[in-house]
Amino acid sequence: MKYLITGSAGFIGSSLAVALLERNDEVLGIDNILPYQDIRLSHARLARCLAFERYQHSDIDIRNGQKLGALIQNWQPQVVIHLAARAGVRAAEQDPQSYIDTNIQGFFNIMEACRKTPVEALVYASSSSVYGGIERLPYHESMPIEHPLNLYAATKKANELLAYSYSHLHHLPTIGMRFFTVYGPWCRPDMALLHFALSIKNGKPIDLYNYGRHRRDFTYINDIIQGLLLIIDHWESKLEIGANGPYAIYNIGSGQPIPLAVYVSWLEQYLGYTAIKEQRPRRSCDMLATYADITAIHRDFGYQPQFSIEEGIRRFSVWFHDFYA
């Protein structure tokens, strides 16, 4: 199989690329490695992919629709997995235009290229943040998502709406993945886990908003990749092709939310450092809790998380000590 992955030097993108390459699939990765992230970490992730002969790389910017379309037309992938995006809640408040340009214009460019080539299916990253102000837990895919609490969440909801329209109008099969707080080795520095680990190691305080009482459905990276592979391999037999076109949305989470304070305590334990904690009130852009109902993806694809949160943090800590030695 030939796959195209956007964001292939990113946390989830590089992990998925390696998993596909290890089973001898061909992968074309797209990532222009912008400097707002840790460049050394991004290049280290990319190096893992480049170690495989069946991996090709392009640094095309997904905001350039003409070049992106030509690349996909030339390479003719069977499935496109779109993971490139500007992520993070706080950064969206500081630079909203970049989120509109990348997450919405870039997503439109991907869909147009997939439509024109055409490809067999488009699998794309959404987020648990789309559930916004919903207080009823756990979150199920059928819930109305009318109240995003931040711009990042709004861009992800927009992606789902655009995908629906393309599935309906052009019969482009689209499958959106609502990821729930992914963590593990090779994660982004702006994610809580690596941000906390670096701060703890360097003796800097960490901010615990809502006094550490936020509850998150932390999902280990290997479980996310398991879910993606199941969908990539079996989507055709599960996707309903009805009047509204071939369209689906799935939660991918652990189904085991825990308080942020517990998450930090396990991180302290396995890193071997004590955190300096600054207790902060809740911010208006923060969700109080996330909790994935994973009934649908289990029913349709047999997805079952394998890693406890404590074990995931232990594995992350081993990688952290090695990479940042």
Q: Which residues are catalytic?
A: 152
Q: Which residue has the tokens 């992730």?
A: 45
- Two tokens at 245? 């076109």
Cα 218 to Cα 215: distance, rounded to the nearest angstrom: 9
* Residue whose C-alpha is closest to residue 246's, from 170, 148, 132: 170
SS3 of the chain: helix, strand, coil, percent, to 5: 45, 20, 35
Q: Which of 200, 236, 215 is nearest to 287 (CA)?
A: 215
Closest-CA residue to 235 (of 65, 119, 72, 87): 119
- Cα of 258 vs its chain's centroid, Å: 20
